[in-house]
Every structure is written in C-alpha cells, then in structure tokens.
Structure 1
Amino acid sequence: MRELILLRHAHAEAASTGQADLDRPLSPIGLAEAEAAGRWLKENNLLPDCVLCSPARRTRETLEAVLGITGFVE
C-alpha cells in the first residue's frame, strides 16, 4: 500500500524588519523539532521514495535535518 507523508516545517524565527518570509530560518527549537521528526520517521521505518519541498529557507532546513537523521538521500 502506498502512503503519503506530509511534514510541515518546524518552528521558525520571526522575520526581521524587511526580511522576506521565504528567508526565515529555523529557530533552535525548530531544529530540535526537525531532528525529532527525523528520528520518528526512521524508528517507524517511514522512509520516502520521493521528497517535494518548498524553496522557503525554513522548509529546506527542516528537510536537511530530517534527512540527516534518516540517511535518505534527496
């Protein structure tokens, strides 16, 4: 059976004055959340065949943290 896994970005820093929403990075809490999500996916053997990710910085940083834990190569 095929499964669709949706993962929202982790907690991000508030935007600085004049900073584009797409450029907001993860907060330290967000990095910990993303790593926890990666551990959960790995522990539950939920490794993707394909990954689609927004170009927003916080989503890319979330994905990088998850992939670092799971070992999945994009």
Structure 2
Amino acid sequence: MIMITLYLFIHLFFFYFDLLPIVRNGYTKLFMFNLIIFFISLSIIVLMGVGVKVPNPNDFIEIIVKSIVG
C-alpha cells in the first residue's frame, strides 16, 4: 500500500509539472495523448501493487521477432 501511495504522489508531481504546462500552452491533442498514457501507467502500477498479474509485453515481442527471423 505504501508503494501505491508513493507512485500516486509521483504521478501527481508529473501531472502538475509536465501535463499542466501543456494545457496552458494550448496543446490539447498532446495533452490528451499524454493523459491517456498517464492513466494507463497509473492503472498498471495500481494493479501490480494489489497483486494482479499484468501481462508482459516481452512475450509478444519475442513471438514477432522469432516469426520474422525464422
């Protein structure tokens, strides 16, 4: 639970110092893209914190590389 709280504060820090200036400068499309990535990463961190097994993207990448190489 402590790690989830720590990551929440880190995400709030990034939101305040990274995402809010994007909105102030009027880049709404960039803000929406960053906000989506922001919430996906926060969701994955919370899921890992409560013990849910999150799929590993390395397995999918390995299958693609093996099919290309042969």
TM-score, length-normalised on structure 2?
Answer: 0.31
TM-score, length-normalised on structure 1?
Answer: 0.30
Q: Which has the larger radius of gyration?
A: 2
More helix by share: 2
